[in-house]
Amino acid sequence: MAREGIPFVGGAVFLSLACWLASDWIAPLTYATAAFGVLTAFVVFFFRDPERTPPPVPGAILSAGDGKVVSIERLDADDEYLEGPGIRVSVFLSVFNVHVNRIPMAGKVDFVDWRTGRFRVAFAREASKENQQSIIGISNGSSRLIVKQIVGIVARRIACYLSAGDEVSLGQRFGLIRFGSRVDLILPDGVDIRVGVGDRVRGGETVIGVCSPHV
């Protein structure tokens, strides 16, 4: 289970036990005990953190989160970090998806920025620019990319464990967004995209694209 879930599980378990112990004196608390039991099960389910094995694909860029690909869009404007145009692949995470985020490409963290913003629905096109988010730049000598953790209407808490200068490995856990969110990958122009809109992906396992050595 993701460490961010421990306080939530602990609180739900405490309330369940308290209601159960008090139900001998206050009968309606029996129903509250059942309700908090269901809540505990959901919290454990939401904060699950399964092991993932990156595929042995040379140059693979993996999904940073579980969910559904909602947009693949070419960005014609030059990006200062990518040093040219890019391709944005957006993955929407519902409350039923695993919310632990994983490193899409091994390398070095060049920067981690935090941007305040709005709380639009995470799958909206405008969310990538307008919503509250963390922005992470990763490079490995031959390529570079940007990862965005974006909040939605329900998700309003981002956990990011990274700092500039960190060395990261493919599929490594790097953060979590609570209760429905979106993860964007902004890739260099020329990356061979291997997914389509509507595809279901798994963080740390699904190949989003393959980067040739010269990209």
Tell me the one-letter amino acid at 214.
H
Closest alpha carbon to 163 in 203, 205, 130, 114: 114
Q: Is the separation of the CB atoms in 102 and 204 below 8 Å?
A: yes
The torsion defined by the Cα of 17, 21, 24 and 25, in degrees rounded to 10, comes to -110
Q: Is the separation of the CB atoms in 108 and 166 below 8 Å?
A: yes
How many residues are there in the chain? 215
Closest alpha carbon to 209 in 17, 60, 89: 60
So which residues are the catalytic ones?
A: 181
The torsion defined by the Cα of 70, 68, 52 and 179, in degrees rounded to 10, comes to 100
Q: Which two tokens stand for residue 43?
A: 């919290």
